[in-house]
A and B are shown apart, each in its own frame.
Chain A
Amino acid sequence: MDSTIALFLIQDGVINGAIYALLAVALVLVFAVTRVILVPQGDFVTFGGLSLAALEAGRTPGAIWLLVMLAAAAAVMDAFVAAREGDVGKAVRLLLRNLLPALLIAAAVHLLAPLRLGMAVNVLLVIAITVPIGPYLYRVAFQPLADASVLVLLIAAVGVHLALTALGLVLFGAEGYRTAPVISGSFEIGPFFVSAQSLLVLAATLILLAALALFFGRTLIGKALRASAINRRGARLVGIPTMLSGRIAFAMAAAIGVVSAVLIAPLTTLYYDSGFIIGLKGFVAAIIGGLAAYPPAVAAAMAVGLLESFSSFWASAFKEAIVFAAIVPVLLWRSLTTQHADEEE
């Protein structure tokens, strides 16, 4: 390996690492607030990326059906709870409040999709479809399990992943897509030959991480999310609804998924099931950070990116096996350093 190849591999690793960092941050966020290990985080990437590809081609993305179905399920569940309490008016209100926004978004996307309104509008539409999927998903799959153990929540998360991936195949087909870059062109910086999209990935990641830091450090709602993560009962005792924190966390996770999708879709071909593997690499990083701290998770994400790009050079066939096998010693180290983990369950 000469230095040119090494530099190329480093560049490749850093860019992938930046994406993994975003996903790792989302996983840490969701776990801290809701104790859900969000295995389907990568599926947000798939749904976002493939929706963008569909809009580029002037087609209505199948993801709107997922949105509508989840909204309907959430509406029925909310209404059922209200009706059981004997409050019919509230039941109807909840039914409409859940269903209407989703139907409006779906209708708007369906009408606007064939017009091919360009990149900016497409990205906005993808955000409008995918971000609400997060809170609806929380409502339907996880809110009823809010008191369950981390283990039960994890099994549920795996169930959600299984359903979403299978649904992805139905909604988007088995074909892979790659979208046009948000910005095209490339530069030469010293020995590097850098594409503008790669720079965008890095810049967007840094901006998003800074924005998250600001959100958690400065806003009351951000602080409330942190508080829910630190002490759930304490948060309830000051009046922060667990449900609200959960929905916000899931919305943010979905939003981060969409951003990652817009960034990565021009760089790699996305299939209905690619999100999972991408998400899992963010996972490796999140777990190195103990599912609790952001800076180590970001650093670890970079390390995962580099490990991946170098192992693809040396042993390309085994690169996935290597990356995932690397998680086991990390998990071991984590469980040996975290004391009384099973006492908390």
Chain B
Amino acid sequence: MSRPALLRFVVFAIIVMAVPLMPFVPSFWVTLLDFVGLASLVALGLVLLTGVGGMTSFGQAAFVGFGAYATAVLTTGWGWSPWATLPVSLIVTVGAAVLIGLVTVRLSGHYLPLGTIAWGISFYYLFGNMKSLGAYDGISSIPPLQVLGHNLLDSRSFYFVVWGFVLASILATANLLDSRIGRSIRALRSGSAAAESVGIDVWRAKLLVFVYAAFLAGLSGWLYAHFQRAVTPGVFNLTVGIEYLLMAVLGGAGHIYGAILGAGIVVVLKNFLQDVLPVLFGAGGNYDGIVFGILLIAMLQGAREGLWPVVARRIGREEPRSVVTDSRLPAREMTATGGELLAVKSVRKEFGGLVAVNDVTFEVGRGEIVGLIGPNGAGKSTTFNLVTGVLPLTGGEILFKGERIDGLSPARIAERRIARTFQHVKLAPTMSVIENVAIGAHLRGRAGMLAGILRLDRSEENQIFAEAARQIERVGLASVMHQPAGSLALGQQRLAEIARALCLDPELLLLDEPAAGLRHMEKQALAGLIRRLRDEGMSVLLVEHDMDFVMQLTDHIVVLNFGARIATGAPAVIQRDPAVIEAYLGTAA
């Protein structure tokens, strides 16, 4: 956390802890705030899962249920003391989350939230029909929590426990987001392709955030059980799961304090609706459902970013991150043994019946700049995707330093120090340029989730950001380092992608149309940079339409047309090749 952020947290913590001490705050409100705290924990997990990781879940209520039932069974059936059940509750929830996550996290797009609806309903019926768990009546007479021999029976004393956990969770979540693992989670939103291209194991990152969110939900469930002193399958209910999601959407998915705000609004509003509206309209209604449903739709239509950004604008802007420039990541040597660096041998790719890449063969030597050119639709980008493992080959083989790399995942290929940029820029638009670039150094760091949460990763983080800053300066974007990546012109975004790729410390760099959208001077600067990289021993394979750029820069050119290689050779040779002239100009030479 940066200094102003920490200050804000401390102020928030003091206010939160002072509320129940005020004599004029009625117990009713304290109780309500206890529920806000319980809901905040779940919403906080959802903010991470949905807002940051891009995975929508309607099923968080199930994890609350796991946490609650675990302690209910152990305390009432086995006579455990409440605090002793805390680790067990959390282990049960995390275990369930890992199992469910292994299946669910693989679901793509809208299948994921549908999956969460399905298990949300399944668990409700499952627990409702288990006689050993009290069926639909649930389990009651759960003992209260004890602190220093005192039973926490009233909502005022319970308040400090709940909000203590909430504050700790806010701190942990903020630290996590500002760490190596946190960045890999945030990178998920810009699409898995970019994350994988720098070596992030996307499934692992998704599972991590899924389990983390479940952990917070389980914690909330454990607290809930000892606060309500009873649990029923109602805690599993899909409607409850939808309400948690509403909190995250309302507060602003992706903002930590948005979770608290959303939880506060929903809990207070629900209480108001359940108490007041039936009196106005007559009993028997479920008016909170109507209002929440409409509220959810209205938020999506009118303020999809949620309410927190509106509040945050009044509180003040985030400070740019300070960069300690004297720390450095250890750079690795270019392996200098002989032979070709990359060998593409008779590579073939078919989509349905269409041959996109037709038995193409070429090599990239060490310290060589190779250009891949051809008309639109000639198969250049497809070839890139084959080399980087984004697409599986239909035939042929690809060797890197003599080792077969076809069939490896993009992340494994990145581990072999092959970095790339994309034709359609893939940056996280709301993250700053330097944070985007720092994602590129993922494989060069080691800090795990726990180190991130406990801030044990600071020296490594400083090194990573120093490296990111260095690469940003190299591509000439130092002046916009702290701006959101989405605010840059397209050409600059391409340069930022190059900086991200360089953070991987690659031996082979693949650039997909790096000069598109650049002005003349910027192109010259880029050409200079690519030459310097070559002189340092890096090899570059680039796709580019600007013929001047390609001809002056490359050592060697491969020309594709309709998926097939029609020519290869030095630029001077290619310029005179009749087949190339025919393909480009459509007039006989």
Contact = CB atoms under 8 A, between A and B. Distances in A.
Interface of A: 37, 39, 141, 144-145, 148, 150-152, 154-156, 158-167, 169-170, 173-174, 280, 283-284, 287, 317-318, 320-321, 324-325, 327-329, 331-332, 334-336, 338, 341-345
Nearest to A323: B122
Given A155-B245, A161-B293, A324 B118 contact: yes
Contacts of A343: 191, 193
Contacts of B103: 328-329, 332
A334 B104 CA distance: 12
11 contacts: A156-B300, A159-B293, A162-B293, A163-B292, A165-B289, A169-B286, A327-B118, A332-B107, A335-B106, A335-B111, A343-B191
Nearest to B102: A332
Contact of B114 (A152, A161, A169, A327): A327
The 9 A-B pairs at the shortest CB distance, nearest first, are namely A163-B293, A166-B289, A159-B296, A162-B293, A317-B129, A341-B109, A341-B108, A321-B125, A335-B108
Interface of B: 56, 58, 103-104, 106-115, 117-119, 121-123, 125-126, 129, 191-193, 239, 242, 245-246, 249, 281, 284-290, 292-297, 300-301, 304
A205 B111 CA distance: 28
Given A164-B293, A318-B129, A280 B121 contact: yes
A283 B113 CA distance: 13
Nearest to B126: A321
Contact of A341 (B111, B239, B294): B111
A284 B114 CA distance: 10
Contacts of B286: 165-166, 169-170
Nearest to A39: B117
A287 B293 contact: no
A160 B242 CA distance: 11
A53 B61 CA distance: 35
A158 B114 CA distance: 10
B111 A155 contact: no
Contacts of A335: 106-109, 111-112
A142 to B, nearest CB: 9
Contacts of B288: 166
Nearest to A327: B118
B125 A328 contact: no
B115 A328 contact: yes
A318 B128 CA distance: 9
Contacts of A344: 109
A166 B290 contact: yes
Contact of A331 (B107, B239, B292): B107
A145 B300 contact: yes
Contact of A163 (B112, B113, B115, B290): B290
Contacts of B242: 158-159, 162
Nearest to A140: B297
Contact of A150 (B110, B115, B284): B110
In terms of DSSP, what is the predominant structure of the interface of chain B? helix
Contact of A156 (B112, B129, B287, B297): B297
B191 A342 contact: yes
Q: Is the interface of A mostly helix, strand, loop or mixed?
A: helix
Contacts of A338: 108
A151 B111 CA distance: 9
A334 B111 contact: yes
B111 A169 contact: no
Contact of B119 (A169, A318, A325): A325
Contacts of A144: 301
A190 to B, nearest CB: 35
B239 A162 contact: yes
Contacts of A164: 293
A325 B59 CA distance: 13
A329 B103 CA distance: 8
A154 B110 contact: yes
Contact of A342 (B109, B249, B300): B109
A160 B293 contact: yes
A285 to B, nearest CB: 13
Given A159-B293, A280-B121, 18 more contacts: A159-B295, A159-B296, A160-B293, A163-B293, A169-B284, A280-B117, A287-B114, A317-B129, A318-B126, A320-B122, A321-B126, A324-B121, A328-B118, A331-B111, A332-B107, A332-B115, A335-B106, A341-B109
Contacts of A334: 111
Contacts of B121: 280, 320-321, 324
Contacts of A328: 103-104, 115, 118-119
A331 B118 contact: yes
A331 B109 contact: no
A163 B294 contact: yes
B289 A163 contact: yes
A37 B114 contact: yes
B515 to A, nearest CB: 25
Contact of B297 (A37, A160, A167, A342): A160
Contacts of B109: 150-151, 335, 341-342, 344-345
B118 A325 contact: yes
Contacts of B294: 159, 163
Contact of B110 (A37, A145, A161, A166): A37
B475 to A, nearest CB: 26
B191 A174 contact: no
A59 to B, nearest CB: 16
Contact of B287 (A155, A161, A166): A166
A169 to B, nearest CB: 5
Contact of A141 (B115, B119, B239, B297): B297
A155 B115 contact: no
A154 B115 CA distance: 12
Contacts of A160: 293, 297
Given A162-B239, A162-B292, A154 B113 contact: yes
Contacts of B111: 287, 331, 334-335, 341
Nearest to B246: A159
A343 B424 CA distance: 11
A167 B118 CA distance: 23
Given A163-B293, A327-B114, A170 B285 contact: yes
A167 B291 CA distance: 10
A154 B114 CA distance: 9
B287 A321 contact: no
Contact of A170 (B126, B290, B304): B290
Contacts of B300: 145, 148, 152, 155-156, 159
B284 A174 contact: yes
Contacts of A162: 239, 242, 289, 292-293, 296
A37 B118 CA distance: 14
